[in-house]
Structure 1
């Protein structure tokens, strides 16, 4: 089509504005699971109608609540009502029976089938994942034969359970479980007298401040200090603002491998210093462990300039911490 040709609209049969308003009002009234169940119960009742007393049995609700929802459906023109003695009976208006039947027949089976299929897929995926985790546990137990086998298997299972609550179910779950389990086993077997000083940074999500602080300690100490990080309620992934900074500190490959981890007693016991990142987390109190709280900003809530300022603030605190550990 050239620029001089005019666009000729194709014939259309779209509903008008008034009809669209009426349909939208009806659909809005139906956008409630209990109302849909009542409508279905009325439509499928062999008598062609249902009493308020019958519909109250669909859910643990009072009869006034049932009457309220039925009134909403009646106001949209879907239902007719008739009082007989102390009860009111509801039926589908003859002019709406075909539309109601089409709605329920078209959407309900598809929704049920789709939900059942998704549930089956999730169950199958989780079962396959559990099998891989059990295989990983056996491999690590064979590798670490100097440790109690039951301990290694338990740590692997607990590590997977802790991560799967928040992390996304992806093909990376098994490698993440292995890294977390190895870290926990190293913490459990740490020799305080001969080992390097160890610091644990804790925040809520372990997706920002604590990840950044641990990376800075590992970089600025030249590996002379071991830094861990954890969260009381870990997020599913590291915040994008922080991941880009981690890439500058650790390199793209290490930054992409960073993941939020749940807080464990093992990590606290293994630490010489536990630093909470101004988020009010309560860590287990272990004798011999020094506790600090750093009131620093949250990168997830900051602008690009704000994130840079938070990074500089954490770096200054980290340098002070490294100096104090060096003198100890």
Structure 2
């Protein structure tokens, strides 16, 4: 009996010292994981963590989803409450970056749990495209130096930042990378002109904004340029720019201003500088993402999207925009 009892005692379970993390730590980590258990929030976090600028503007997240700007702001608030993000308001925009103290954790999370976003399942053509884009760094640098020389009144670092930001924004939707440099140059020059504009002098500026800058806003800007005879400066931009102008609209642009206008048209991202330089901002279905600048007049036009219309429908949309442009022009140049 004694021997059997000893055997039983030897096989008995002896509790080991507790090695689990503390309840407080587990509660904190669970809260973070719960906040990240949303596809859009993970995409927002990965966008910020991999942005070559080291930070992302709130306007950069519009391309991730069709949800409204307030919804994006809600997701950013949830991420910020986890302690992973820091934010800073500059003018009318808010910029987000990963808290340096949490960067290791964020990198480990994304590299370990989402390898497909970085290496393993990246299509070969996409990887080659990324390599080509990185190879253009020298050309971007030379462009920045040239534009800085042309604008001695502006800080060289600021000009370089504008050029690199422009290149980064346009490359996200670029299909033909060999056109990126000339397009970046056009967009950078426009942004620098917007920054330098004296709103108390010169021709009135009108900015047309739609979602993709591939249809309505491009058409409205072309019509205003044509019908004002150049007396009004018309620009266009998109909250989520497309890769190219829709063929329906490109043909209309060629009719309005000739082939040069159609060839020069390309979707451009909305910038704070463009809004600040405008006397009038006309939105077409994306008013919630446009920053509000004191002294700027805002209008919202309910205009159908020509990309979704038939040939006859496109003609109706063109006539609708033409009538609206004429009414706007009458308020800008009453003596005409």
- With the length of structure 2 as denominator, give the TM-score of the two structures: 0.61
Q: Deviations over 1:139-162 (max 9, x none)?
A: 111222222111111110111111
1:116 and 1:277 map into 2 onto residues whose CA distance is 35
Counterpart position of 2:268: 261
Find the aligned partners of 2:264 and 2:177 in 1 and give their Cα distance: 13
Structure 1 counterpart of 2:225 = 218
Indicate the residue corresponding to 1:295 in structure 2.
Answer: 302
1:232–1:281 Cα contact (<8 Å) kept:
no
Deviation of 1:120 (Å): 5.5
Query: Which residues of 2 match residues 1-328 of structure 1 at below 5 A?
Result: 118=125, 121-327=128-334
Find runs of 4+ consecutive structure 1 residues off by over 2 angstroms.
Answer: 112-124, 278-282
Query: Larger RCO: Structure 1 or Structure 2 (Cα < 8 Å, ≥ 6 residues apart)?
Result: 2
| Cα shift at 1:212 | 0.1
Alpha-carbon separation, structure 2, partners of 1:172 and 1:254: 16
| Aligned counterparts of 2:184 and 2:126: Cα–Cα separation in 1 | 24
Q: CA deviation at 1:121?
A: 2.8
CA contact (8 A) 1:271 1:289 kept: yes
* Alpha-carbon distance in structure 1 between the residues aligned to 2:277 and 2:214: 21
Indicate the RMSD between aligned Cα atoms, in angstroms.
2.0
Alpha-carbon distance change, 115 to 166 in structure 1, aligned in 2, over 3 angstroms? closer
- Residue ranges of structure 2 left out of the alignment (5+ in a row): 1-118
Partner Cα separation in structure 1 for residue 241 and residue 129 of structure 2: 22
1:187 counterpart SS class = helix
- Asked if the contact 2:275–2:281 (Cα under 8 Å) also holds between the matched residues in 1, the reply is yes
Q: Quick one: structure 1 residues 298 and 114, their matched pair in 2 at CA, closer, same or farther if it must change by over 3 Å?
A: closer
Equivalent residue of 2:165, what SS? Answer: helix
CA contact (8 A) 1:202 1:281 kept: no
1:283–1:237 Cα change, 3 Å: same
The gaps in structure 1 that reach 5 residues or longer are 1-111
Measure how far apart 1:115 and its partner are.
Answer: 6.5
Work out the number of aligned pairs and report it: 217
Distance 2:243 2:254 in 1: 19
Q: Is the 8 A contact 1:275 1:292 kept in 2?
A: yes
Indicate the residue corresponding to 2:44 in structure 1: none
Q: Secondary structure at the match of 2:207?
A: strand
Structure number with larger C-alpha Rg: 1
